[in-house]
């Protein structure tokens, strides 16, 4: 039964992309097209310093990007990690998702594939990001600051008018990360997961922790068991936190957004978190979520 279209993404920076994705869905476009075009808008905007062009560099002052795409009809999955100089990593991830083998490429191998496939290449380091790197390096020496600094991944989920779902992520990862570091965002089941029969979820926050809980898969699995989107996301996060805390370990910032095949949306977070949603019933808007229990 068609329930209309839905699209949602992490952080307020995705509003413009979500709006474009919404127009694609309203015209009958696919969830896959909608999520990738939405993420591409964020990648192309240099003001957003945690994704794509203008993304904050790693400890060696190089911009290394992670991105992934998943199609909920076929379960096709593609990803790139620690990739440099590729203008739109999300499009490269989607291209890889149509391969039978070699669907997840990292570093030089991903760049070589992008060149062969004629993807647009670009120096992704902006003067502003370079300045931020210099300032941060100085402050880290003087104040013993942690490199992790509220670094935001764009993750988008969508349901189209045919009932198909898709999701995509893109990030420059943690500011000042070690060269070669890969976060949760390109990892199937951690930064994103999608099955049109169960639902779609994306996560943002401290990748080192998100990947321990395979939190996007867990959220989708719970929706598949019959939980509403909101209860699935909250339960996944709460149970994961309890399991980690019981080991005497801390849990970093984590936020999850998800959507069920019925079109209901869910959010769980342990920090203040902005996200954007739009659907056939409501115009895309930014919302704020605060930490809550189940």
Contact positions vs ligand SD4 (CB under 6 A): 151-153, 171, 173-174, 183-185, 204-207
Q: How far apart are the first and last CA of the chain?
A: 29
CB of 45: closest distance to ligand SD4 in angstroms?
A: 17
Structure tokens at 6: 């839905």
CB of 127: closest distance to ligand SD4 in angstroms?
A: 23
Q: Which is nearer to ligand SD4, 97 or 204 (CB)?
A: 204
CB of 211: closest distance to ligand SD4 in angstroms?
A: 8
Considering only CA atoms, which of 174, 166, 191 is closest in space to residue 140? 174
CA 253 → CA 61, 89, 120, 207, distances in Å?
Answer: 24, 24, 33, 9
Using an 8 Å Cβ cutoff, are 42 and 155 in contact?
no
| Active-site position among 153, 171, 204, 219 | 153
CB of 51: closest distance to ligand SD4 in angstroms?
A: 9
Cα separation of 140 and 38, whole Å? 34
Residue 65 is given by DSSP the state E
Q: Which is nearer to ligand SD4, 8 or 205 (CB)?
A: 205
Q: Which is nearer to ligand SD4, 21 or 183 (CB)?
A: 183
Q: Which is nearer to ligand SD4, 161 or 271 (CB)?
A: 271
Q: Which is nearer to ligand SD4, 152 or 160 (CB)?
A: 152
What is the torsional sign of CA 247, 248, 252, 254?
positive
CB of 214: closest distance to ligand SD4 in angstroms?
A: 14
Cα separation of 283 and 294, whole Å? 27
Helix (H, G, I), strand (E, B) or coil at 25: helix
Residue 12 is given by DSSP the state G
171 in active site:
no
Place of tokens 């939980």: 227
CB of 117: closest distance to ligand SD4 in angstroms?
A: 25
Structure tokens at 149: 């600094």
Q: Which is nearer to ligand SD4, 213 or 263 (CB)?
A: 213
**Proportion of the chain in helix, strand, coil states, percent, rounded to 5:** 35, 25, 40
Considering only CA atoms, which of 77, 71, 70, 9 is closest in space to residue 43? 9
For the annotated catalytic residues, the residue numbers are: 153
């Amino acid at each position: 039964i068609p329930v209309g279209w839905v699209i949602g993404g992490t952080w307020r920076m995705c509003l413009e992309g979500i709006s474009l994705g919404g127009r694609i869905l309203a015209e009958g476009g696919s969830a896959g097209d909608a999520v990738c075009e939405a993420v591409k808008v964020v990648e192309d905007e240099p003001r957003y310093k945690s994704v794509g062009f203008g993304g904050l560099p790693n400890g060696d002052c190089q911009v290394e990007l992670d991105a992934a795409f998943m199609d909920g009809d076929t379960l096709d999955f593609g990803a790139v990690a620690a990739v440099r100089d590729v203008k739109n990593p999300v499009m490269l991830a989607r291209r890889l998702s149509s391969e039978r083998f070699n669907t997840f490429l990292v570093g030089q191998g991903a760049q070589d594939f992008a060149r062969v496939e004629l993807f647009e290449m670009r120096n992704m380091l902006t003067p502003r990001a370079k300045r931020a790197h210099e300032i941060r390096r100085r402050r880290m020496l003087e104040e013993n600051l942690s490199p992790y600094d509220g670094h935001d991944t764009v993750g988008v989920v969508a349901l189209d008018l045919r009932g198909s779902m898709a999701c995509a992520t893109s990030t420059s990862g943690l500011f000042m990360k070690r060269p070669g570091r890969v976060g949760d965002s390109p990892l199937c089941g951690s930064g994103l997961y999608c099955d049109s029969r169960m639902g779609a979820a994306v996560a943002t926050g401290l990748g080192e922790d998100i990947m321990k809980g395979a939190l996007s898969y867990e959220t989708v699995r719970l929706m598949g068991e019959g939980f509403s989107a909101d209860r699935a996301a909250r339960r996944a996060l709460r149970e994961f936190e309890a399991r980690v805390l019981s080991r005497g370990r801390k849990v970093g910032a984590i936020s999850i957004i998800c959507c069920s095949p019925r079109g209901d949306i869910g959010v769980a977070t342990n920090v203040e978190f902005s996200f954007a949603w739009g659907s056939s019933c409501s115009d895309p808007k930014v919302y704020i979520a605060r930490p809550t229990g189940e």
